[in-house]
């Protein structure tokens, strides 16, 4: 693992913050953090970028089912111990930290069941650098963040598409490209899109025809 390679370091930090880096790879990453300032800076940068998703979110109280579901998954019931040996105090503090991180990442909480999650996608270029993040709320809105200014010709723009099955791709809207954010509304005729693939195209502003092939593509993940 060459952590002196910036694209790899940034990709690992992104997956760690998103929660997609799991198992032995996640544990090894955490052991490397104290000794690598650049890696810690990458993690901090990703946390700051993703926290932008919560700017437009109203404060809501998490349903009791979410608390119960997280507690059961994180801390299964064990044999009864004394309060000091069971570390219940420290587990409570850890649970509070996890919930705070989840609320910071989620653009909106509408959770009818404990299994509801945030649908999230990271669109990367061919060097595996993340260009956009896309989060979908339960009301059908897409919260898109451009992570840095891009050199897009003035007569062109980047468009986001949804490709499902053998159907032509359906346009979702224009992507921001100057390090800013934008909210896109899902078409009313579109079913739940998380089974599909996100496409990105760059094409003239006068041409909004569906592309034959995407410039970039990615799949949804669930937090």
pLDDT tens-place string over residues 129-148: 888 888 887 777 888 888 88
pTM over 0.85: no
pLDDT tens-place string over residues 212-221: 889 998 988 8
Q: Return the pLDDT at 201.
A: 92
Closest among 148, 78, 137 to 111, alpha carbons compared: 137
- Determine the Cα–Cα distance for residues 188 and 61; give it in Å rounded to an integer: 28
Closest among 143, 141, 142, 178 to 158, alpha carbons compared: 178
Q: Return the pLDDT at 204.
A: 92
Q: Return the pLDDT at 51.
A: 72
- Determine the Cα–Cα distance for residues 157 and 188; give it in Å rounded to an integer: 24
Q: Return the pLDDT at 63.
A: 77
Q: Return the pLDDT at 20.
A: 81
Q: Return the pLDDT at 196.
A: 79
Q: Return the pLDDT at 92.
A: 56
Q: Return the pLDDT at 17.
A: 82
Question: Are 175 and 205 in contact, with CB atoms under 8 Å apart?
Answer: no
Residues of the chain with pLDDT under 50: 83-84, 89, 96, 103, 106-116
């Amino acid at each position: 693992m060459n952590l002196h390679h910036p694209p790899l370091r940034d990709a690992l930090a992104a997956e760690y913050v998103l929660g997609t880096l799991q198992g032995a790879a996640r544990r090894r990453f955490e052991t490397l953090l104290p000794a690598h300032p650049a890696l810690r800076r990458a993690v901090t940068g990703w946390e700051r970028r993703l926290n932008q998703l919560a700017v437009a979110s109203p404060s809501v109280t998490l349903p009791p089912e979410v608390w119960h579901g997280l507690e059961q998954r994180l801390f299964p019931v064990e044999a009864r111990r004394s309060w000091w040996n069971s570390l219940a105090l420290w587990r409570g503090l850890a649970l509070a930290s996890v919930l705070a991180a989840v609320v910071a990442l989620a653009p909106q909480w509408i959770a009818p069941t404990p299994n509801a999650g945030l649908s999230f996608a990271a669109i990367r270029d061919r060097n595996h650098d993340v260009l956009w993040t896309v989060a979908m709320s339960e009301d059908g809105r897409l919260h898109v963040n451009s992570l840095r200014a891009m050199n897009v010709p003035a007569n062109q723009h980047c468009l986001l598409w949804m490709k499902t099955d053998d159907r032509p791709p359906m346009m979702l809207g224009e992507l921001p490209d100057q390090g800013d954010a934008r909210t896109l509304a899902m078409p009313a005729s579109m079913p739940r899109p998380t089974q599909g693939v996100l496409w990105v195209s760059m094409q003239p502003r006068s041409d909004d025809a569906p592309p034959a092939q995407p410039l970039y593509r990615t799949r949804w993940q669930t937090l």
